[in-house]
Amino acid sequence: MEEQDIIRALGALAHDIRLRVFRALVVAGPEGMTPGRLGEALTVAPTTLSFHLKELCNAGLLLQARSGRNLIYRADYARMGALMAYLTENCCAGDACAVTPPSCTNC
């Protein structure tokens, strides 16, 4: 990922609702969630949720697909992995880390 992509992604996550939305979609896994289900789970108004979903999509953190009449939003695990890799690529100055992060089964 380019530095501007990293900044855009981190900027998008630097908002409480967007961070909650992204985390909920990460937990939802590859099946994702409809905006209706997501809004109910997070108690976020539809218009507010729509704005924040658009921001997360523009930052490249979410994937959007149509399933019949519904939109399905999913976390972009590849993009999330690239962001984490960028943030940790020089971890511990190249030495083995004392703490190994848990592996992600969806990544």
- Fold for the domain defined by 3-89: Arc Repressor Mutant, subunit A (1.10.10)
Judged on CB neighbours under 10 Å (0-12, 13-18, 19+), 83 is buried
Q: What is the pLDDT of residues 50-96, one digit of tens each?
A: 999 999 999 999 999 999 999 999 999 999 999 998 988 877 776 66
- Contact criterion met (CB below 8 Å) for 30 and 76: no
Taking the CB of residue 18, how many other CB atoms lie within 10 A of it? 20
pLDDT > 60? residue 107? no
pLDDT > 60? residue 106? no
pLDDT at residue 94, as a whole number:
65
Domain ranges of the chain: 3-89
- Contact criterion met (CB below 8 Å) for 28 and 74: yes
pLDDT at residue 3, as a whole number:
93
